[in-house]
C-alpha cells in the first residue's frame, strides 16, 4: 500500500514545483524591465533655484546627480524651468522625465486635465515665503483694500488659490479684483514700476520688493495654503524605471542633508546663485522646509485643495477629487 502511494507523492511534488515555477515567472514577467523596455541611458529633469530651492542649488554646485548616474552609465541633464505650466508642458512633451518643485495646484489641475503624471516625493513647504504685497502709493494696507485693484500672479498655481482664499476672508470674490497673469519675476518690477497695484510674490522677490521701499506687506500665505511643492515624474517613466526614480530621490535627500551640514558654505554659493548677500540667504532659509516625506495629513490637504479648486471652477464637477488625489500620489518610491 505504501509503495503504491509513492508515485502519487512524486506526481504531487512535481505539480507543486511546476506551479511554483510558473508563479515565479508570472511575478517576474510583471516587472517593467522584462517587457522589452530599452535600458535607461539618459534622464532629463527640471529645476528652479527660486524661491530658495536648497536641493537644486546644492545639486548644481556639487554635480552629485551627474556623477552618480554617470557611474551607472546614465547621462543626466538638468534644465531650468521655473513656472508650473512650463514644467507640465515639458513633461507632456517628454522633453523632461522628472520635475522638481512643482506646486501642488499645478499638479492637481494637470492630473484633472489628463496629464499622466505622478507625485513621487515631497519637495518643500514655504507658506511664510509667499505674500500679497502692494505698491506703497496704492493705498492698500488690508485685504479689504484690494477691492478694484489690479493684482499680478501666476494663475493656475498655489498663488491663485491663496488669493481666492485671502479675498474670501475679506468678504470679497475674484470678480472684485482684476487678476493679471504674470510670472513672479515680472510681477515684482511691474508693481514697483506702478503698472499694477499689487502682486503675489514668493521669496526672495518678496524681501527685495519690501526692502526697496516700493512695496508693503499686506498678507502672507500662512494659514491659507500649505505652500507645498512636489517632485513629479511622468507616469510611464516612473513605471518603467522605478529604480532610477528612487535613486533620484535618494540623491535629492543627500543634497538637503549636505546643506544642513554645511550651512555657511551653502549661504555663500546660494547667495551667488540668487544674487543675494549670504546673510540674506541665512535670514530666509528658516522659512522653507525641505523634505521628501508624504504623509496622510498632506494627502488630506491635497484632497481639500482639490475640492476647493472644483468648487471654484478649476476642476470639472464630474471629477471625483478624492480619487484624483489617490491616482496622483504614489508613495511607493519613498
pLDDT score recorded for residue 85: 85
User: What gap in Å lies between CA 143 and CA 292, rounded to an integer?
Assistant: 34
Indicate the SS3 state at residue 246. Answer: helix
Q: What is the pLDDT of residues 248-266, one digit of tens each?
A: 999 999 999 999 999 999 9
pLDDT of residue 36: 78
Q: DSSP label at 52?
A: T
Q: CA–CA separation, 74 vs 35, rounded Å? A: 20
User: What integer best gives the mean pLDDT of the chain?
Assistant: 91
Strand 228-234 with 98-103, pairing: antiparallel
User: Measured between alpha carbons, how far is 119 from 145 in angstroms, rounded to an integer?
Assistant: 37
- Burial of 209 from C-beta contacts in 10 A (0-12 / 13-18 / 19+): buried
* pLDDT attached to residue 25: 30
What integer pLDDT is reported at residue 22 of this predicted model?
Answer: 39
pLDDT at 82: 82
Mention the CATH class of domain 128-220: alpha beta
Higher pLDDT residue, 136 or 11? 136
Query: How are beta strands 42-47 and 98-103 bridged, if at all?
Result: parallel
- Give the chain's radius of gyration (CA, Å): 25
Residues 147-165: tens digit of each pLDDT: 999 999 999 999 999 999 9
Among the ranges given (11-25, 48-62, 112-126), the one the predictor scored with the smallest mean pLDDT: 11-25
Which among 232, 200, 206 has a CA at the least distance from the CA of 98? Answer: 232
Grade residue 34 by pLDDT with cuts at 50, 70 and 90: low
Confidence of residue 144 (pLDDT cuts 50, 70, 90): very high
Nearest-10 crossing angle of helices 242-261, 54-62: 90
For the chain, what percent of residues have pLDDT higher than 90?
85
Residue 35: band (very low, low, confident or very high) from pLDDT cuts 50, 70, 90: low
Who contacts 224 (Cβ-Cβ below 8 Å, separation ≥6)?
Answer: 127, 161, 162, 165, 166, 169
Q: What is the mean pLDDT of residues 127-150?
A: 98
**What pLDDT does 51 receive?**
86
Cα separation, 153 vs 56, whole angstroms = 23
Tell me which CATH code domain 42-126+230-333 carries.
Answer: 3.40.190.10
Question: Span 58-86, mean pLDDT?
Answer: 95
What is the mean pLDDT of the segment spanning 270-293?
Answer: 94
Cell of 315: 476642476
Contact present, 103 and 184 (Cβ < 8 Å): no
DSSP 79: E
Helices 54-62, 263-274: inter-axial angle, 10-degree rounding? 90
CA nearest neighbour of 48 among 84, 19, 12, 76: 84
**In this predicted structure, what is the pLDDT of residue 84?**
82
At 172-197, the pLDDT tens digits run 999 999 999 999 999 999 999 999 99
- The residue with cell 489690479 is 150
Report how far apart the first and last C-alpha atoms of the chain are (Å, whole number). Answer: 57
What dihedral angle (degrees, nearest 10) is formed by the CA atoms of 81, 86, 88, 94?
-70
Cβ proximity of 114 and 316 under 8 Å: no
Amino acid at each position: 500500500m505504501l509503495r503504491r502511494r509513492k508515485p502519487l507523492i512524486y506526481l504531487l511534488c512535481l505539480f507543486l514545483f511546476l506551479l511554483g515555477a510558473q508563479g515565479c515567472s508570472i511575478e517576474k514577467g510583471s516587472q517593467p524591465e522584462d517587457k522589452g523596455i530599452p535600458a535607461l541611458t539618459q534622464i532629463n529633469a527640471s529645476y528652479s533655484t527660486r524661491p530658495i530651492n536648497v536641493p537644486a542649488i546644492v545639486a548644481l554646485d556639487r554635480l552629485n546627480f551627474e556623477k552618480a548616474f554617470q557611474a551607472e552609465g546614465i547621462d543626466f541633464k538638468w534644465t531650468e524651468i521655473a513656472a508650473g505650466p512650463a514644467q507640465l508642458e515639458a513633461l507632456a512633451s517628454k522633453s523632461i522625465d522628472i520635475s522638481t518643485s512643482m506646486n501642488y495646484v499645478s499638479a492637481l489641475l494637470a492630473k484633472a486635465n489628463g496629464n499622466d503624471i505622478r507625485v513621487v516625493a515631497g519637495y518643500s513647504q514655504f507658506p511664510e515665503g509667499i505674500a500679497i504685497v502692494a505698491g506703497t502709493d496704492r493705498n492698500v494696507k488690508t485685504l479689504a483694500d484690494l477691492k478694484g485693484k489690479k493684482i499680478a500672479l501666476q494663475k493656475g498655481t498655489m498663488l491663485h488659490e491663496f488669493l481666492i482664499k485671502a479675498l474670501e476672508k475679506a468678504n470679497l470674490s475674484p470678480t472684485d479684483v482684476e487678476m493679471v497673469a504674470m510670472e513672479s519675476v515680472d510681477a515684482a518690477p511691474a508693481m514697483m514700476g506702478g503698472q499694477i497695484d499689487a502682486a503675489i510674490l514668493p521669496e526672495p522677490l518678496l524681501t527685495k520688493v519690501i526692502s526697496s521701499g516700493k512695496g508693503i506687506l499686506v498678507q502672507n500665505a500662512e494659514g491659507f495654503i500649505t505652500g507645498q511643492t512636489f517632485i513629479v515624474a511622468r507616469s510611464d517613466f516612473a513605471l518603467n524605471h522605478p529604480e532610477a526614480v528612487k535613486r533620484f530621490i535618494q540623491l535629492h535627500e543627500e543634497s538637503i542633508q549636505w546643506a544642513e551640514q554645511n550651512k555657511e558654505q551653502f549661504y555663500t554659493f546660494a547667495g551667488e546663485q540668487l544674487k543675494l548677500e549670504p546673510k540674506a540667504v541665512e535670514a530666509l532659509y528658516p522659512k522653507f522646509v525641505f523634505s521628501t516625506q508624504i504623509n496622510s495629513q498632506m494627502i488630506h490637504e491635497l484632497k481639500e485643495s482639490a475640492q476647493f479648486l472644483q468648487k471654484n471652477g478649476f476642476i470639472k464637477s464630474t471629477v471625483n477629487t478624492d480619487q484624483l488625489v489617490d491616482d496622483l500620489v504614489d508613495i511607493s518610491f519613498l
